[in-house]
Chain A
Amino acid sequence: MASLWEYANPLKFMRTTDWLLPVVSVAALVVTSIGLIWGFFFTPDDFRQGSTVKIVFLHVPAAMMAINAWVMMLVASLVWLIRRHHVSALAAKAAAPIGLTMTLIGLITGAVWGQPMWGTWWAWDPRLTSFLILLLFYLGYLALWSAIEDPDTGADLTAVLCLVGSVFALLSRYAAIFWNQGLHQGASLSLAPGTRMDWAYKAPLYTCMLGFGLIFVALVLAGTRTEIRARRMKALVARERMA
């Protein structure tokens, strides 16, 4: 019976991702292209927001992946702390810069949209503030990784930071809500009945979200593979020196 834990073996992970990575990459490219082209060129303009509404096809998927990347890092960190699988620590490391980029995309597209719509690039709104705080957490996490030389110590420390940081990131989110009631509209998508978005927008948006998810998976796999190779190279160099 195959289990997920088999992929904790770097060899098995590499062998599987050898074929999985190209597949996911192509799928990510195709789905995101379809979603974005569909969203940008084949949806009607909103009657109030005009064509600026179309930035949602970048903004919402990026924001979603920014949060999901942190959740994935949290899970990977837990797996590393509990079961000591190196691949999972490396996957958490690989996910961080992608999450950071997604956070930046979310913030920048939001600012570009907010300028014509709200008349301001930035507002100290709880959602915006939480995202800026999330950016700070990503920066701290990455800075800690880059500051520590020993990879296992680095993996341990960043994993604990990720756990503690998650708690405080959540606290900060509710603190920000408490601190300033906001300007940002509620969730664009919701499972509750009576959702606000028309299917003409929802269908391409879901496609984009799927595409961004695939991009994230592809980039994390590629990053993890790079990290594993870097480790192997280090081991080879060390062995050369010993000989």
Chain B
Amino acid sequence: MSALLIRDLRLALRAGGGFGLGLAFFLILAVLVPLGVGPDPGTLARIAPGILWLGALLACLLSLDRIFALDFEDGSLDLLATAPVPLEAVVTIKALAHWLTTALPLVLVSPLMGLLLFLPAEAYLWLILSLTLGTPALSVIGTFGAALTVGLKRGGLLVSLLVLPLYIPTLVFGAEVVARGAQGLTVATPLALLSGITFGAVALLPFASAMVLRINLR
């Protein structure tokens, strides 16, 4: 299993893996938003929590089709499915690799994006914490979406349509944590709910993902 993780990380990091595309997307979004809504620091500070969370979410979404598509095309997914490792574990590792290569860099650069959007100083801690706690849910839910659409030719747009509604609770609670943090309010409730969604999704969704993957590989 660790071999699979290392292989996936390597594939993502080396040329053609598309590593960093999500980051570039996040940066472009943080540049385009002020251009679109105007440079007023007050407005930007007010919408920054939502924009940052939305940016992280969309950057995750963009990279979903890479989770299974290449392995499906060259047949290694069939090998993985027949390997002695349970498919549930394979799916979890895939989600973990996606999180490490896409979401973790986003978490790390998010304070910089917060700077661009005049995020209030009190909110930085909550931004990093909420993204760290919330993005695993995005990866796991996204893996489910990618598994659903793995064999389809027009999977790209479809996966957005399927996954975005599933992202709603994570987005609501995640952005709420940052917004409350920015206003200096207590963040315990949304933070607990966000963690609940993440842990629930990480615990249960790999079974659903493995199930749909088996259906798709049949």
Flag whether B14 is at the interface (Cβ < 8 A): no
Cα A34 to Cα B112 in complex, Å, equals 64
Determine if B193 is an interface residue (Cβ-Cβ < 8 Å).
yes
User: Could you tell me which B residues sit within 8 Å of A by CB distance?
Assistant: 144, 148-149, 152, 154-155, 158, 161-162, 164-166, 168-169, 172-173, 176, 189-190, 193, 197, 205, 208, 211-212, 215-216, 218
Q: Which of B152, B155, B158, B166 is most buried by chain A, counting CB atoms within 10 A of its CB?
A: B166
Given the interface contacts A148-B152, A153-B215, does A136 sit within 8 Å of B165 by beta carbon? yes
Find out whether the CB atom of B208 lies under 8 angstroms from the CB atom of A160: yes
Compute how far the CA of A94 lies from the CA of B169 in the bound complex, rounded to whole angstroms. Answer: 28
Pick the contact of A147: B154, B165, B168, B190 (CB < 8 A).
B154
Question: At the interface with chain B, which of A2-10, A25-33, A167-175?
Answer: A167-175
Instruction: List B contacts of A169 (CB < 8 A).
Output: 165
Is the pair A179, B161 in contact by a Cβ cutoff of 8 Å?
A: no
A-B contact count (CB 8 A): 73
B166 touches A133 (CB 8 A): no
- Give Cα distance in the complex from A148 to B205, angstroms: 22
Q: Which residues of A contact B161 (CB under 8 A)?
A: 136, 139-140, 143
6 contacts between A and B (CB under 8 A): A147-B155, A153-B218, A160-B212, A164-B208, A171-B197, A172-B165
Task: Evaluate whether A163 and B208 lie within 8 angstroms (CB atoms) in the complex, with A144-B162, A147-B152, A172-B168 already known.
Answer: yes
Q: Tell me how far the C-beta of B218 lies from the nearest C-beta in chain A, rounded to whole angstroms.
A: 7
Number of A residues contacting the other chain (C-beta, 8 Å)? 26
CB-CB under 8 A from A168, the residues of chain B are 165-166, 168-169
Do A136 and B164 have beta carbons less than 8 Å apart?
yes
A156 at the interface (CB under 8 A from B): yes
Residue of B nearest to A146 (CB): B158
Per the bound structure, the CA–CA distance linking A155 and B160 in Å amounts to 20
Q: Is A95 an interface residue (CB 8 A)?
A: no
Q: Is there an interface contact between B148 and A175, defined as CB atoms closer than 8 Å?
A: no
- Known A-B contacts A147-B152, A160-B208; the reply to A165 vs B216 at CB < 8 A is no
User: Chain A contacts of B216 at CB under 8 A?
Assistant: 153, 157
A165/B154 in contact, CB under 8 A: no
A157 contacts across to B, CB distance below 8 A: 148, 212, 215-216
Report which of B168, B176, B208, B212 forms a contact with A133, defined as CB distance below 8 A. Answer: B168
Q: Nearest residue in A to B165 (C-beta to C-beta)?
A: A136
Q: Is the CB of A144 within 8 A of B158?
A: yes
A113 at the interface (CB under 8 A from B): no
Closest to B171 in A: A175
Please encode chain A, from 199 to 215, with 1 for each CB lying within 8 Å of some chain B CB and 0 for all others.
00000000000000000
Q: Are A164 and B215 in contact (CB under 8 A)?
A: no
Q: Which residue of A lies closest to B193 (CB)?
A: A178
